[in-house]
Each structure stands twice: as structure tokens, then as C-alpha cells.
Chain A
């Protein structure tokens, strides 16, 4: 029977061309949207590599251009901040703090291999503020003060791309000047952009103020004790503003920043899903209409099939089967196109994401086809053979 159905659909390929095309495009749109959703969901379920709860970001904007003066004032601000009982720990960072809309990257090379990686400039106790776990080696600290090299902690993604199977600890990576970075530790994960972003290669470079005399770091990450709210925030900003007179000080919780990033990731996803939903609804209505029309045109064929021995259930299954075969033709074209994405590693997305999206899209198209064919097929099965045979 399956051979018969394929033969029937193939011989009717001209009249079924539009339906097959419709299914093909519907599959492609579904595949695209599902790839995006699967990509985001898979990233969402991966660990961020840090704890953002109860962490605030204090952004300080001085009113002068004098780095020396600004650093002096900043030192006083930090000393005062350390005096707050409500604060557990703090660390300066550059503008690409977790969930910030800022990025900084640098090329790092080792053994002839070069990788573009995100660079995060952070102070020694950043690991405590963000509660990060070093899986191999250590975090940088006072013991690196005398080192000729710049101590860095890399993430696993960078380790895999740059060192492959080699142990990265102690390895020197040349900087633009004559100095080098030295890998002192590895963290498993670090995804500061958003929960929906994939892990990218990155490394933490140490902010050691005596060495970075010409730099001013205006972002201070503060871990407060649980339960601290607006009241403490206002008090803290008021007191710190008293020290940095004329400075602009803003506090944002990382949770708030995370929510903003989440919205940015979700909005296009939801918009695309809605558009896709409408498209699928249109395709479904189109499919339903065409199937209904096709089946009503085939009354005499239905009558004939009943006459030669088809039970009503077999007629029903035949029409469902025909729609599945039709969908298969559309899907074969669609899958042949979509499979190029994982094969060619388009957008540098993991192949698994594409394969999962492809599988779900195929399943959904078959479900859609069955859903659309269900009622017309039932109607076809209910046609009285004696009446159908007299319709020509």
C-alpha cells in the first residue's frame, strides 16, 4: 500500500506541487525558528559559571580627566565601601561586567594557533564576589605581584581551542608588547553576556593597580549580604557620593541587568515564534482547504475503492497516508536543504542544535499534516460508496 501511495502522489506531482512547496517552506521557517529556540534553551540550561544574586554593579563616572586624582578619590570610596557591614566583598572590573552591554576581545596565540577571546579585566577577589570555581590551577592574587608575566585565568572554551589536550597551566601566551600572559588557572564556565548566549573563549586578566597606573576602572562589583535592598543602596550611594563630589554614581543589580538581557534575547524569539505561528496557521488552513477540496473531487475514486474491497477505515488511512507521503516529499527537499547547516557549521552553532531543530520540525510537520488531513479523511471514509460511485 505504501508503494501504491508513493506512486499515486508521484503521478499527481503536478497537482500536488503547490502543496509540496508549501510544506517545504513551512518546514524551513519552522526549522529556522526552532534552531533559534533550541540554541537558546540549550544555552539557558548550561551553567553561567558565577552567582549573580546579591551582586550590584556600582558605576562611577568622575568629573575630571586626571587619572591620578580620580584614582585617589576612588581609593577613598572603596575604603569607605569596605566599611559597610552590609557588603561582603567587592572587585573592580572593566566595563564588560556580567550582563553589561559591553564587550572586549583580544587575540591570544599559542603554538602557532591564534584564538580571538573575550578579555575580562578584574581584580583579585572577583572570584569571591562572583563565587566562581576554579577547576584547575588557581585564581590570581598577591603571589603574582612579583611575576614578570601577566597572570590570567582562562575558561574551558579557550583551553579547548588553544591548548586542545595540553595542560595550560604555566603556559606563556605572548602579548602585543614584549611581555606575556601566564595561565595560572582554568574555570569550567563563564557566560557573562546572557543566559541565552553560548560559551565563548575568554580569559580573566588581572587588575593590579600599582602596575596599571594609567588606567581608571569605573565599575565596582559589590556582593552584598542577602536581603539588602533599596534602602541600603540609597544610603551607600549617598555616602559614597559625599566622597566623590561631582561624580556620577549609579547602582544596578546584576539581577536587573540579567532581566534586561533576557528581554533582549526573548523578544526576537517570541516575535519570530508568533510570526511562525501565524505562518503555520495559514499553511494549516491552506492544507486543510486543499485537502478538503481534493478529497471531495475524488468521491468516485473513494466509491471505487470501497467497491473493490476497501473498508471505511482503510479509506481513512489511505488519505492520511497520502498526506504523510505528500509531507514526506516536501520534507525530503526541506531536510536536504536544512542538513547543510550542521554539515557546513553555519553560524558556528553546534550541529546538535540543528539536528534537534530538524527532528522537531519534521515531527511538527507530520503532526500538522495529520491534523489537517484528519477531518477531510474522516469525511472521505464516511462517504457512502453507492452515492460516491454515481458522482462523476
Chain B
């Protein structure tokens, strides 16, 4: 399929879905409304809500808050995950001691931490950042740990025979290998950073996309809930695109996956 036809069909899916939605929410079938607007709103209402948000500019403040929380959660979680992952992988004894606790903490559904973080850190951005960090940290941690553990022994031996000290091995072999694993988890990590921020906002905050959705839900404004969801998806897609660009730049040395038509 050429790019243009692909784009056409992708657009068609949206057009058809939205038309059906609009149709069943406004035209009664056999005397009944299949999608009562009170529960399902309509695409037109949702669109006008989104337009209103952007026209008045209220949305920017919320978007910026959510973006800022996600970025902080991502950066802090990643840095922590890389450092601890590296440390554990190079010090198997430390890893063995902490192993059950790491597993325990990772098994904990992170949502239950939200009230604790709200208590400790207040209703500002930091309780959301903390929630995002607990999600991002483990993804990056496990990947970096794996990456350092699975460095090819041949490449390591080669480094040693070329005369590398332990320090140079860390810099030239372990580190790039760990980073490549970290980047392969980048999309997931960024996604989780946003999830942490939005869920945190939803559970208690005064700003952000999660807050916006929660407020609309509180007054049964289904149109605004859907509008919030659409803005959120668009937001995540834009961030994900940014990640793809960064990834392409940093992982040029990796063979591209074989594409098939």
C-alpha cells in the first residue's frame, strides 16, 4: 500500500466511526436513540468543547501541567532506574539482597500509592511526579539490569584483550549496551510517565488533564470527558513521535528491523 492510500484508509476509519456515532446519537432508530447523548455525547459536541478549550486558552495551562509532571516523572524515574539497574547488575550480591523487595514493590499496583503521595507531597505536581516515577523507574530499571547482564561475552573479552580497564569497559561496553536496552523501553516508559501524571491528577489535584476529565465527570458532562480523552491521546501521540525522533538519532548503530510489505 502506498503512503497516500494508507493515510486515506486510516482517515476513513475515523470518518466512519465518527459518522456512526453522530448518527446514532442524533437520529432515533425505531423510535429509540441507540446512543443517548446524555451518556454518549456527540462528536460535534466533543469537537466544539475541544475548540472552546483551545479558543479560550484554558487548555494550555492544564496541558503544560501534565506535560511538566510527565517530563519530571520520566527524567527522575529513568535516571534512578539507570543508576540502580547498573549498580545491581555490576554488584550481584547487592542485587541478590534486594531482589525480593524489588519484586514486592514492582508487584504493588501503583494506584494505591497515590493517596500516600498526596498526603506526603500535597496536591501539587510532586505527588503526581512521584506516582509517575514509581512506574517509570521499574521499567527502566529492569531493562538496564538486563542490558548490562546480557552484554555479549565475546565483546567483553574483546574489550579486555584490547586492554580496557574495568572503568573503560564500563564506559565503552556496559554503558552503551545498557542504554540501548533503556531506549528500547523508552516508549513504554514515556507512556507510563503520562499515565502516572494523569492518574495522579484524577485522584486529587487542581490542574492538569486528569483534573479536567475528573471535573467534567463530576457534573456528568460526558462531552467534556470525551474531549479530555481526545486531547490526552493527541498529547501522547505527539510525545511518542518526539521519542521516535530521539530514538532514531541515538540508535543509528542498530540494525533496522526487516520491513515486509
Partners in one complex: no
Which residues of A does B touch, CB under 8 Å? none
